[in-house]
Structure 1
Amino acid sequence: MVIRGTKTEGGWYVKAKPNGEPYPLDSRLAPLFREAGVTTLPGALQYGASTHGSKPCMATRQILKREREETNGKMFEKLQLGEYDWLTYSEVQEKAVSVGLGARQRGLQPLDRVVIFAETRAEWLMCAMGCLQHRISVVTLYTTLTDDGVAHGINETGVPFVFTSYDLLPRVTRLLSKCPKVKTVVVMEDQIDGLGDTSKFPASVSLVPFKELVTKDASWDRIDTPTPQADDTAIIMYTSGSTGTPKGVELSHTNILTSVIAYSVQMNVGPGDRFLAFLPLAHIMELASEIALISLGATILYSSPLTLTSTSPKVMRGTDGDAKVAKPTVMNAVPLVLDRIIKGVSQKVEQQGWIKSFIFNEAVRYKFWLEYIPFTSYFMDYFIFRRVQEELGGELKRLVVGGAPLSPQTHDTMRAIFGVSIQVGYGSTESASCITGMDEDDVNTGHCGGPNLGVLMKLVDWEEGNYKVTDKPYPRGEIVVGGPVVAKGYFNLPEENKAAFYQEDGINWFRTGDIGEINALGALKIIDRKKDLVKLKHGEYVSLGNAESKLKTLSNVENICVFADSTKDKTVAVVVPSADRLRKVADSVGIGGEVSVEDLCQHDKVKEALLKELQSHGKKCGLTRWEVPAAIYLTLEPWTPDTGLVTAALKLRRKQLCLHYEDSVHDMYSRLD
């Protein structure tokens, strides 16, 4: 089943009204780019600078003071933060040009590669654009990759030049002995400490401060600037993967610009909008979004998950979080971040007493329906939700959510509390983050919109999972995406390329491995993933990912991994509970006092009480009795990229979790037999 609509100059689009007519999808950027001759990513920045030259483009928050405080025997960094400092569009373009010339002066040539291993910040994007202007490909690495993963990306691509930051310089210093081809490291300085301690940095590698790199030199006048080509490999983006070694996805300028143009259809943003950037720029969703925003004249304010709100771990007491100061109108997010925001809000409301908690929860529950009564929504926002909304600046209008399916409960709750339009999208690194996206005025939940401009999509039967395009009432199958968004392939992995990518009628296609369902209006719902489907011994299929996405919306659960053995007739789960709420569960069964949270995790009565809550919640979310766990194991062990149990995008690494909790899973099944 190939889903295809009307062909336009921008590509294919397929969204249809109930009467079968296509929606009028008009890209603002496609004609402007065509008129300006924009075919590459640095061309998009040049276009933005020529159109919005003196307007604010990027902002970085001032660090006024840094302290380290001890909590429970561990040292934590706290920051006193000031206002945002701005760079105009013209200044950003000038810095990017200086980066490219500074890199060339230090030996880089067209068609070379560089690595950017740094947190999301203004210099990250300027470094990428500066190198791309000279046909130098950019290799991106998540900062949460393991040391072995970082070394693998550097060595596999053979880069001689690495951009990093003050915070990550100690890690790079450790890794240089494993990366013999690296000759130069450029460091984006800290506002207070500069480069920090460089005493252990090897003398055989050149260490260059970012400010020195972009300082004009007379030799720059002799450097020629080649013209990047649309089909050049612009980015080699390493994905952490859910199984093992990171894979580099080769993305051309055309791949990413197609995604940028599609963004301008989906998002009604422009020069008056402020975007708060805190997701990794090494993630294609964030990178494509920021390039689109620069092209559209919006302003980008940089943040991090550690300073986002006033309660974030690095924010010093008495200092406002970044969101409160930046007052963004637009943000990107992943479902896990939204779940944590909601759980944080719920815990604060509960601390104010049961009456306020009851009023707040009922307001969340009925707000959507009461919005049809004049002034009701304004009344509820002002008197009930205003303080909560101010934590994110109070002016947020829209959220773009990707990275994983968003549960309807999280979608509705977030929309009610913050009064924002939430647009869920679906994509992958291999498709430049661009497959489907919700329309701005779509109030439905549980789906991720129809195919974006420039995208072809089809469903293919998956016999093993019993998903077919002939299924009623809606077609189902593996999602296969085609068109100019599809990447060139995986770097240096020919066998994996044969399995995932193919050409048909001159069109590049990518097999996503995700299972989708198309509704009557052409919207896509992700219902499964090939690797997550397990058949139990009685013949029933269980979707592990579907069960986990719904069960983790329970406020008592921080994270969860469901396990299924095909020789058994039940599932079990390992749960990372919320420590504060676990004490309330313990109190409900008469266990309190001086018992530690670690001991509560091992207490049978506590586990039984939490299991009952989990089972009840799962049934309310529509899970079958086979998908709801029959037993749980509680652990306070953190699931972070550093522990290897989740990816850099915080997705479960199922194979590693299976090995790590093998004994616990075996013990749970033994007790059930």
Structure 2
Amino acid sequence: MINNWLAVGLLVVSGILAFNWKRKHPYGQTVEIGEKPENGGRIRRNSACADHLISFLEDDEIYTLYDSLVKSCKKYGERKCFGERKKDSNGNLGKFEWISYNTYLERCEYIQQGLCELGLKPKSKVGIFSKNRLEWLIVHSASFIQSYCVVSFYETLGVESLSYVTEHAEIGLAFCSAETLQKTLDIAKGVKVLKTIICFDSIDKEHYNIAKELGVTLYTYDEIMKKGKEANGKHKHTPPTPDTLSTIMYTSGTTGPPKGVMITHKNLTSVVCAVSDFIKVYDTDVHYSYLPYAHVLERVVILAAFHFGAAIGIFSGDISNILVEVKLLSPTLFIGVPRVFERIKTNVFKEISKKPALLRTLFNGAYNLKYLSIQHGFKLPIIEKVLDLVFFSKIKQALGGKVRVILSGSAPLSFDTEVFLRVVMCCCVLQGYGASEGCGGDACKRLDDESVGTIGPPFASNEIKLVDVPELGYDSNGEVQTGEVCLRGPSISSGYYKDEEKTREEFKDGWFHTGDIGRWNRDGSLSIVDRKKNIFKLSQGEYVAVEKIETIVVKSEYVEQVCIYGDSQKSCVIAIIHPHPESCSEWAGSKKTDKDIKEICKNQDFIKVVLDDIIKNCKKSGLHGFEIPKAIHLTPEAFSDQNNLLTPSFKLKRHEIKKYFEDEIKKLYSKLD
């Protein structure tokens, strides 16, 4: 109560001091073009490019990623390009060590020359199976020079899935690391096409012997570099055309085998060229690269940062080092996924809860004031500068203190978390939207838009239309225009590799149907409100959107992860929940009971506390009774890609979760019957 009155008091004073200071909220962000189709709304484009879509930069003659590579290195020369931390003789990581754009291009040249020496022909498929590292990026860029097609492997996938990808994509040569060498050899056992493996690290005698038995030739990365130097530039470049396949991006797949999204140089180049219309990237910018390169989002971010001359610090590979490295690097651009930002929010409030009562009261008052001002769209310039200096500057230091733009992608960011980041990080927070089929960049909030909760207009490289979904009540021509988001343009893939059936299913009349439900807002921006494929019907005919429910359930202080499940023959939904370990420990401490998380998850008193809190939040958020979980199962094991319950891009694998918790689901429903 004190916090609220303090916020209101400051609000009144601030309102007087900052009368008429409204936050920027541009309208007319999109324009409608063309005729209205029968089953959907009119096509919309970014208002900045109403008469055309961007696919290249004509003035700079950038038509492919090869053009971007060569011309960026010529332009930025000796400027810092990529940096990584090296281990000393004791195994300790040091400071970031940098190479220039010129050195990077030189190494790319050596690698492509070395691969030519091995006899690798232009347009061949090249696999990369490793964590983020400089060598990964060098191989990727080297592929542009000979028009190779890169196929990246998620490091956490099992041998069966990796073997499928290798055979399906016809990968004859693959790069790997010491950590993934054995798994790569395991793939070669069952896949005849893979005959050459190049390891980024040194190789021991045992692995050479295994490779020999399999009829596979092993090289180290350094050996290929040496071959490339000795070739002395004898192999001519074979530059790609815009329509040359640049990569096959195998989606991790929430069900079934991975699908190979075909992505051309034009697809990727158009996104890179369109970036400047959203996030202005400068040659003074610094980006921390920690999201996996096997995912299209980070790949596109790297390509864009490189193209505009930014410095890029590469993740050392140990998740526990991320915050240390961020502080060391002090990035100006920070790209993340909602799961990362939710953890930051949880940790901040956990630390605040440990402070003395007076400090907590003052912080909460300051936080609530700034939160309200952002939520309602008014600005308090003088007051906010003081609050940032006194209360939030130390929190901002968690990301190095220099971040000017935070971009969240891969999944929707909750309203509360978006405002939290705006409050404590004192910078611009953008939400982006993109499918692998759209090269990860299909819509993004504008830098000059200070409103909350939208993903902005389409990228200048694609256009969007909404298609009616009448069975779910979504009408693209209603008072509020809603429907399935469909994408078309230079940045959109033409389909799936060697899978005509899936391509026909999801690419119709030149449009990719995303399965996401969008809403056009009054300002012309887009919001994602549902997922068509994650909506099901209960026994009494009610449709349930599980992701909407999960967004609310995860707000509970006790919930770390949640998967909502509903049986079509039942009248209610249930929830599988991994609780916050800290909340478990704190509750156990207050009850003087066993603090082992496995035992806490079985404790019926704790289960009731969690369920009651979830029900309270659901009712507060206005969910219908059939949308509120009636029973929950607590699991001490987190959903992860290691146990095959999450995709590597942190999406729930609902089919796998259903199988994994089949017995628990049956027990929950039997108790409710």
Q: TM-score, normalised by structure 2?
A: 0.88
2:83 is aligned to 59
Judge conservation of contact 1:28–1:265 (CA < 8 Å) in 2.
Answer: no
Matches of 1:25 and 1:389 in 2, distance apart? 38
1:360 is aligned to 363
Judge conservation of contact 1:285–1:433 (CA < 8 Å) in 2.
Answer: yes
**1:196 to 1:415, Cα distance in 2 relative to 1, 3 A:** farther
Out of 475, 491, 497, the residue aligned to residue 491 of structure 1 is: 497
Query: SS of the residue aligned with 2:82?
Result: strand
Judge conservation of contact 2:535–2:543 (CA < 8 Å) in 1.
Answer: yes
1:539 is aligned to 541
Query: SS of the residue aligned with 1:626?
Result: helix
Query: SS of the residue aligned with 2:301?
Result: helix
Matches of 1:668 and 1:358 in 2, distance apart? 41
Report which stretch shifted further, 548-557 or 146-155. 548-557
Q: Which amino acid aligns with 2:292?
A: P
1:279 is aligned to 291
Residue 556 (structure 1) shift? 2.0
5 Å matches for 1:354-433?
354-369=357-372, 372-433=379-440
Out of 351, 355, 360, the residue aligned to residue 348 of structure 1 is: 351
Q: Which amino acid aligns with 2:585?
A: R
Matches of 1:663 and 1:354 in 2, distance apart? 46
Residue 401 (structure 1) shift? 1.1
**As a proportion of its length, which structure holds more helix?**
2
**1:41 correspondence with 2:65:** yes
Matches of 2:233 and 2:537 in 1, distance apart? 66
Report which stretch shifted further, 50-59 or 341-350. 341-350
Matches of 1:343 and 1:80 in 2, distance apart? 29
1:627 is aligned to 627
Residue 179 (structure 1) shift? 2.6
**1:478 correspondence with 2:478:** no
2:108 is aligned to 96
Judge conservation of contact 2:283–2:310 (CA < 8 Å) in 1.
Answer: yes
2:511 is aligned to 509
Query: SS of the residue aligned with 1:409?
Result: helix
Residue 364 (structure 1) shift? 2.7
2:147 is aligned to 135
Out of 549, 552, 564, the residue aligned to residue 550 of structure 1 is: 552
Residue 105 (structure 1) shift? 0.7
Matches of 1:158 and 1:54 in 2, distance apart? 38
2:610 is aligned to 610
Judge conservation of contact 2:53–2:461 (CA < 8 Å) in 1.
Answer: no
Judge conservation of contact 2:564–2:574 (CA < 8 Å) in 1.
Answer: yes
Report which stretch shifted further, 85-94 or 116-125. 116-125
Q: Which amino acid aligns with 2:368?
A: R
Matches of 1:249 and 1:237 in 2, distance apart? 5
Q: Which amino acid aligns with 1:624?
A: H
Residue 378 (structure 1) shift? 2.9
Report which stretch shifted further, 274-283 or 160-169. 160-169
Residue 106 (structure 1) shift? 0.9
Residue 391 (structure 1) shift? 2.0
Query: SS of the residue aligned with 1:468?
Result: coil
**1:500 correspondence with 2:511:** no
Matches of 2:52 and 2:367 in 1, distance apart? 35
2:185 is aligned to 173
2:3 is aligned to none
Report which stretch shifted further, 548-557 or 279-288. 548-557
- Which runs of 5 or more structure 2 residues have no equivalent in the other structure? 1-29, 35-42
1:70 is aligned to none
Matches of 1:398 and 1:99 in 2, distance apart? 34
**1:64 to 1:286, Cα distance in 2 relative to 1, 3 A:** same
Judge conservation of contact 2:589–2:595 (CA < 8 Å) in 1.
Answer: no
Judge conservation of contact 1:183–1:206 (CA < 8 Å) in 2.
Answer: yes
Out of 186, 211, 217, the residue aligned to residue 206 of structure 1 is: 217
1:565 is aligned to 567
Residue 354 (structure 1) shift? 4.7
Residue 349 (structure 1) shift? 2.6
Q: Which amino acid aligns with 1:214?
A: M
Matches of 2:85 and 2:646 in 1, distance apart? 30
Q: Which amino acid aligns with 2:473?
A: N
Query: SS of the residue aligned with 2:88?
Result: strand
5 Å matches for 1:258-297?
258-297=270-309
Residue 302 (structure 1) shift? 0.7
User: Root-mean-square deviation (CA), in Å?
Assistant: 2.5
Judge conservation of contact 1:263–1:289 (CA < 8 Å) in 2.
Answer: no
Query: SS of the residue aligned with 2:469?
Result: coil
Among all aligned residue pairs of Structure 1 and Structure 2, give the percentage whose two residues are the same amino acid: 28
Deviations 1:448-486, CA, capped at 9 Å, x for gaps: 1111102111111112212111332x1111111111111
**1:322 correspondence with 2:325:** yes
Matches of 1:180 and 1:24 in 2, distance apart? 48
Deviations 1:582-603, CA, capped at 9 Å, x for gaps: 2333456xx3233522111111
Matches of 2:275 and 2:507 in 1, distance apart? 24
Out of 438, 459, 464, the residue aligned to residue 452 of structure 1 is: 459
Residue 201 (structure 1) shift? 4.2
- Which runs of 5 or more structure 1 residues have no equivalent in the other structure? 16-21, 67-78
Matches of 1:471 and 1:625 in 2, distance apart? 26
Q: Which amino acid aligns with 1:523?
A: S
Residue 437 (structure 1) shift? 0.7
Deviations 1:92-136, CA, capped at 9 Å, x for gaps: 111111111111111200121110111122221210111221011
**1:124 to 1:257, Cα distance in 2 relative to 1, 3 A:** same
**1:512 to 1:543, Cα distance in 2 relative to 1, 3 A:** same
Judge conservation of contact 1:28–1:264 (CA < 8 Å) in 2.
Answer: no
| Total equivalences in the alignment | 628
Q: Which amino acid aligns with 1:338?
A: F
**1:581 to 1:156, Cα distance in 2 relative to 1, 3 A:** same
Matches of 2:477 and 2:580 in 1, distance apart? 43
Deviations 1:257-302, CA, capped at 9 Å, x for gaps: 1111121111022011101110011111111111111111111111
5 Å matches for 1:563-602?
563-586=565-588, 591-602=591-602
Matches of 2:632 and 2:357 in 1, distance apart? 29
**1:249 correspondence with 2:261:** yes
Deviations 1:313-371, CA, capped at 9 Å, x for gaps: x58xxxx7110100000021111111112112222332335544444344333224468
Q: TM-score, normalised by structure 1?
A: 0.88
**1:94 to 1:382, Cα distance in 2 relative to 1, 3 A:** same
Matches of 1:25 and 1:385 in 2, distance apart? 40
Matches of 2:394 and 2:182 in 1, distance apart? 40
